[in-house]
Structure 1
Amino acid sequence: MLANKRMLALGTGAVAVALTVTACSSGAVQAGGGSTGGDGGTVTLKVATVNNGQMKDMEKLKTEYEAANPGVKVNFQVMEEGDLRAAVTADVASGAGQYDIVTIGAYETPQWGANGWLVDLTPALQSDASYDVNDLLPPVRDVNTYDGKLFAVPFYGESSILMYNKEVMDKAGITIPQNPTWQQVADAAKKVNTPDMAGICMRGKPGWGDLFAPLTTVVQTFGGNWYDSNWKATVDTPEWKEAVGFYKKLLDDSGEKDPVSYSFNECLTALKEGKAAMWADASVAASMLEAADSPVKGKMGYAHMPVDKTKESGWLWSWNLAIPTSTKQKDAAIKFVKWATSKDYIKLVGNKIGWSNVPPGSRTSTYSIPEYKDAAKAYAPITLDVMSSVNPKQPGVNPQPWVGIQYVSIPEFQDVGNQCAQLVADYLANRGTIDDALSKCQSIAQAAGDKHKK
């Protein structure tokens, strides 16, 4: 019965995904995520997380935690973004209890907190003065709060920015302004595009958190959005057609080959390896581009996300650690989450891995650490500036009936976004037309919007 109630809170497509993944994961669920082993009461915590540099650093440093907490074993399951969302949604929605700690986004936290799927972390955090919950950056703390309760804590926060190779631009005689327009970026990308180096790399991989993360912000700054104030879908409109058409032309003229196979990690690699000159994406990428082992360290420039009709077009996002109510290791899970999002963890990353690798956008105090200020001077100020400048209540030209920038804060959006992203990806890959993609997406979006009309 609990599983049925949980499933009803999801959109139709998400229910199908949850049921399918739960069925496919039955063996793992039976094995249990958090367990007390037979070796003297060892507690095993299973953490589901996304495959990016910041999270992999946490996995490397887990031995520090285990050494300081004898009897605790922390196992990581690292997945690509789309796979993570499917697996975690399935587990949390069904109450299967496969994971003790999950990595979720700003999109999921308030909805899942409202559904009663996540442990309220407020009492544990507020009662621990050393954790200093008020030090969490207000924008990312707010997006993880529902009804005054904190249901997840930010591991790192981000907006989106334009990143470009200064050496390439200087050689071409191009100056990128701090607040560029999309047309300026498109012109620059075309000038530096060569057979061996794309002028710009942009996400094209299907997925609401892949392709549609940057593309939604492009749509918004071009004057479009998913819905109007009355939850009428506005996908099949001139604004969407202009924005999506611009995105394809940008990729056709100056983008990477086979863009539908590119998302965050692929573009990051392309920029590091000199196979792309520019990239508009998550600001957290800057810390990886400036890492000690990065081939482009010190060669990068950073600017605000390009715009068309709006003053800003960056997104607001955080990857957060949350604890499903289905865990059997609640206290141990809370203790690990506190450690991984603490001031001490920030310093541990700086001292053990490098100060440019410190998770950004999570704590105010991070930006006062001298070593971090020096290591992150190229990108930390602009990251804070953009995060403080975006407006999640109205990121586009017109008002919207939800709070959020690169996503719509309704349960159905995960399914809507995934279906529409596949349609647009087919258009990007010349497997369909823009009119057909937007027309079908309009119907998909309207079906979801109808459920939220007053």
Structure 2
Amino acid sequence: MHHLPPLSSTNTLGPMFCRPQLRKPQLRKPLALLIGAVAMTAGAAQAETITVATVNNNDMVIMQSLTEEFEKAHPDITLDWVVLEENVLRQRMTTDIATQGGQFDVMTIGSYEVPIWAERGWLVPLDNLPEDYQESDLLKPVRDGLSHDGVLNALPFYAESSMLYYRTDLFEQAGIEMPEQPTWQQVHDWAETLHDPENNVSGICLRGKPGWGENMAFVSTLVNTFGGRWFDMDWNPEINSEAWQNAISFYVDLLNNYGPAGATSNGFNENLALFSRGNCAMWVDATSAAGKLFNPDESKVADRLGFAPAPVAETPKGSHWLWAWSLAIPASSNSPDAARTFITWATSQDYVNLVGETQGWTSVPPGTRQSTYDNENYQQAAPFAGFVVDAINAADPLDSSLEPNPYVGVQFVGIPEFQAVGTQVGQMVASALSGDTSVEQALSAAQNATERTMKRAGYPK
């Protein structure tokens, strides 16, 4: 916002009143300026402030940096930002929405929360979007995941699947050729070969920070491809199954032997920083990291970066996830119209173009619009573009495990209880990774805790 300086700091009125010889017509201009200044000040005072809560990921940091662009185009709306670490954001959002606290006008939530919160009437439905928003341009898997009864309840800011990133220079030096579809056993062997702590290079980096959307987002896909699932068809937990035991034992062994020190502190952002500095030979995580890693201004490995599909073990099912960070309006917002104006701007084709032109095309929010992937500028700047959109379209939340399951979701279970379940299990998996408990003890405790939670919630239903 640009406010006029106080009238006392200008000479607008001083000369006018000390020269009585001025003719009357000449008084009109300064008086008009005064009236205009008062009107503008009043207009500025009436600007509606909306509070936007978002996660501290790179794409959202860029969105926040473009505040002035939005406010310039919409002088009647001021943005107030609350930017939080992922686990903290989720906790704050959930508490506020469940209590109808009204602290936020825009919430950054994901594919897990949207259908659950929409069903409870906690979100403002986003029907009758402006024609120029081009809703049909949104990728169908993303659009479907954010809809309830056929109506969008959040607009996708960026969407992602998961993939394997690797250092092509280290692979070439070791004589390793990346196959079209890597396996987890191959990844283990490569990590062993490439692990070089003396030169500050870990064989592999993976999420270890506990949280249903942190370590468990990755761990769930690992369990899927090892043949496991969260629940059987009668909603009985299977966390102490052989598939879970094999997957978590593999994960703990891999990270403890060939991962960075203190892995239980590393989530998405921490591993992104490690990989972009050259401290990881491999990293399996979100496709949304590709833009930053391929940007030479942001990444030291931009010129030696390879990518491949997320690894598989017993089955390819559920090996790569599907997620959309999205902007939603809580029903408790006092400024839903202004919030709607902002979220349609921030998720529009025009916004994608604005980021591409001002920040570089590798920095545009990925995974939401077909037009992004049809854009020649993006295709030239982002060699991963086609790969990512194929991965998003191939992820199947309705068929994510070797054995049939009763839930929707690849790296999460689409029921309200999963936030508690996933958080509990994530803490227990982290305790096994840190060596505070054995894998068997951790999974037994996770199984018991999940059984209690599900029983209290009235499952099976």
Please indicate, yes or no, whether the TM-score normalized by the shorter chain is above 0.5.
Answer: yes
Structure 1 stretch displaced more, 362-371 or 286-295 = 286-295
> Counterpart of 1:130 in 2: which secondary structure?
helix
- 2:388 corresponds in structure 1 to 383
Q: Secondary structure at the match of 1:298?
A: helix
Task: Measure how far apart 1:39 and its partner are.
Answer: 5.0
Is 1:198–2:196 an aligned residue pair? no
How do residues 150-189 of structure 1 correspond to structure 2 at under 5 angstroms? Answer: 150-189=152-191
CA contact (8 A) 2:218 2:411 kept: yes
TM-superposed CA distance for 1:111, in Å, is 0.2
Number of residues paired by the alignment?
414
Matches of 2:425 and 2:43 in 1, distance apart?
48
In 2, Cα distance between equivalents of 1:269 and 1:40: 41
TM-score of the two chains, using structure 1 as the length reference: 0.89
Task: Give the aligned partner of residue 99 of structure 2.
Answer: 94
Asked if 1 retains the 8 angstrom alpha-carbon contact of 2:71 and 2:78, the reply is yes
Question: Within the alignment, does 1:337 sit opposite 2:343 as a pair?
Answer: yes
- Contact conserved, 2:52 with 2:104, CA < 8 A, in 1? yes
1:359 aligns with 2:361: no
Q: Which residue of 1 aligns with 2:17?
A: none
Q: CA deviation at 1:63?
A: 0.8
Write the distance in 2 (CA, Å) between the matches of 1:425 and 1:309: 24
Partner SS, residue 45 of structure 2? coil
Secondary structure, counterpart of 1:59 in structure 2:
helix
Paired residue type of 2:229: N
Name the structure 1 match of 2:233. 229
Q: 2:110 aligns with which of 105, 109, 112?
A: 105
Alpha-carbon separation, structure 2, partners of 1:444 and 1:282: 29
Q: Which runs of 5 or more residues in structure 2 are unaligned?
A: 1-41
Q: What SS is found at the alignment partner of 1:217?
A: helix
Number of the residue aligned with 2:151: 149
Tell me, in whole angstroms, the C-alpha distance in 2 between the residues paired with 1:320 and 1:61.
17
CA contact (8 A) 1:227 1:449 kept: no
Letter in 2 for 1:343: Q
- With 99-108 and 309-318 compared, the bigger mean Cα shift is at 309-318
Q: SS of 2:141's equivalent?
A: helix
Task: Note the 1:349-428 alignment, pairs <5 A.
Answer: 349-377=355-383, 379-428=384-433
What secondary structure sits across from 1:320 in the alignment?
strand
The partner residue of 2:131 within 129, 132, 149 is 129
Partner of 1:277: 281
Structure 2 residue aligned with 1:211, among 208, 212, 215?
215
Alpha carbon RMSD of aligned pairs, Å?
1.2
Q: Which of these residues, 432, 435, 438, is aligned with residue 440 of structure 2?
A: 435
Letter of the 1:107 partner, please give it: Y
* Superposed displacement of residue 253, structure 1: 1.8
SS in 1 for 2:303: coil
Contact 1:159 1:317 in 2 (8 A): yes
Alpha-carbon separation, structure 2, partners of 1:122 and 1:436: 49
The letter for the 2-side match of 1:430 is G
Tell me the CA shift for residue 298 of structure 1. Answer: 2.6
SS at match of 2:342: helix
| Corresponding residue number in structure 2 for 1:305 | 310
User: For 1:230, what is the secondary structure of its paired residue?
Assistant: coil
The alpha carbon displacement at 1:183 in A equals 0.4
Read off the aligned partner of 1:339 and give its amino acid letter: W
Supply the distance in 1 between the matched residues of 2:336 and 2:101 (Cα, whole angstroms).
15
Alpha-carbon distance between aligned partners in 1 of 2:378 and 2:345, rounded to the nearest angstrom: 19
Shift of 1:90: 0.9
What letter corresponds to residue 452 of structure 1 in structure 2? Y
**CA displacement at 1:172 relative to structure 2:** 1.1
- Given that 1:198 and 1:254 are in contact with CA atoms closer than 8 Å, whether structure 2 keeps it comes out as yes
What aligned pairs does 1:61-100 form with structure 2 within 5 A after superposition?
61-100=66-105
Are the aligned partners of 1:264 and 1:281 in contact in 2 as well (CA < 8 Å)? yes
Q: Distance in 1 between matches of 2:48 and 2:301?
A: 42
How far is the alpha carbon of 1:38 from its aligned partner?
A: 9.5
Look up the SS of the partner of 2:157 in the other structure: strand
Q: Distance in 2 between matches of 1:277 and 1:333?
A: 42
**Counterpart residue number, 2:5:** none
Cα deviation for residue 292 of structure 1 reads: 3.7
| Contact 1:155 1:319 (C-alpha < 8 Å) held by counterparts | yes
The farther-off stretch of 178-187 and 383-392 is: 383-392
1:374, distance to aligned residue in structure 2 (A): 0.5
Letter in 2 for 1:185: V
SS at match of 1:394: coil
Amino acid at match of 2:246: E
Gaps of 5+ in 1: 1-36
Provide the C-alpha distance between the structure 2 equivalents of 1:445 and 1:376, rounded to a whole number of angstroms.
42
Whichever residue aligns with residue 100 of structure 1, its letter is: D
Letter in 1 for 2:245: K
CA deviation vs aligned residue, 1:196-246 (integer Å, no higher than 9, x gap): 210110000111111101111101110111101110110111111000000
State the alpha-carbon separation in 2 of the partners of residues 432 and 138 from structure 1. Answer: 43
Aligned equivalents of 2:400 and 2:190: distance in 1? Answer: 25
- Counterpart of 2:460 in structure 1: which amino acid? K
Instruction: Tell me, yes or no, if the aligned pair for 2:44 and 2:76 is still in contact at 8 Å.
Output: no
Which whole-Å CA distance do the structure 2 matches of 1:449 and 1:403 have between them? 17
After TM superposition, where is structure 1 displaced by more than 2 Å over at least 4 residues in a row?
Answer: 37-40, 447-452
Alignment correspondent of 2:459? 452
Q: CA deviation at 1:311?
A: 2.3
Is the contact made by 1:122 and 1:149 (CA closer than 8 Å) also made in structure 2? yes
Please state whether the residue corresponding to 2:308 is helix, strand or coil.
Answer: strand
Q: Secondary structure at the match of 2:302?
A: coil
CA distance in 2, matches of 1:349, 1:154: 16
Instruction: Give me the whole-angstrom Cα distance separating, in 1, the residues matched to 2:336 and 2:393.
Output: 34
Q: TM-score, normalised by structure 2?
A: 0.88
Cα distance in 1, alignment partners of residues 86 and 155 from structure 2? 19
Quote how far apart the aligned CAs of 1:57 are: 0.4
Aligned to 1:345, what secondary structure does the other structure show? helix
State the partner residue of 1:253. Answer: 257
Aligned residue in 2 for 1:52: 57
1:447: how far off? 2.7
Question: In structure 2, what is the equivalent of residue 316 of structure 1?
Answer: 322
Q: What is the alpha-carbon distance in structure 2 between the residues aligned to residue 331 and residue 292 of structure 1?
A: 39
With 438-447 and 266-275 compared, the bigger mean Cα shift is at: 438-447
